Structure 1
Amino acid sequence: MFPGREARLDDAEIRGFLARDYPRLVNAVALASGSYPAAEDAVQEALVRAWIRSERGEHVESLPGWVAAVALNLTRSGWRRTMAERRARRRLLERSGSAVT
């Protein structure tokens, strides 16, 4: 936290973010993820994490930038998880002698 500056996000900052930045960020993350609902989930989860962080007294310098970075990281993590699950299923099917579909 910076001296003399309140770390907590206030209602006005959140409302401003939702009105000004939320739609743009959801669209950007949707382009990266290929799914609008998944993008909404990622941006909402990132905003919740920013709120929790601020409640702990940690400072979020740029809310839109922080939320964008976290939402994209969540999207990439989800994609990696999906790919790892597919590889694991494929290996399991190969070991059992079943055809891979």
Structure 2
Amino acid sequence: MAGQMFVVKRDGRSQEVKFDNITKRIRTLCDGLDPRFIDPVPVTQKVVEGFYNGISTAQIDTLAAETCAYMSQKHPDFSTLAARIAVSNLHKCLG
């Protein structure tokens, strides 16, 4: 990501992309998954590749879930992580 990139939060505010926040969110959803295969940092790096300026946090969650679903060919725990991200996103959208 070159230069500053902003995300649109659920409340409509813009905020600079914070890689650490995304990693932290994914890490909390990795509880109980095999750490030999599921590492939040490379998952976040892969998700960030699909970013564009003005992406919403809900779209980031969708992108993260889709990325993990695609990575499930490497290990089944990625499917679990994809489902957790999707459910968490749904709860936030409804909440």
TM-score by length of 1: 0.40
The structure where helix makes up a greater share of residues is 1
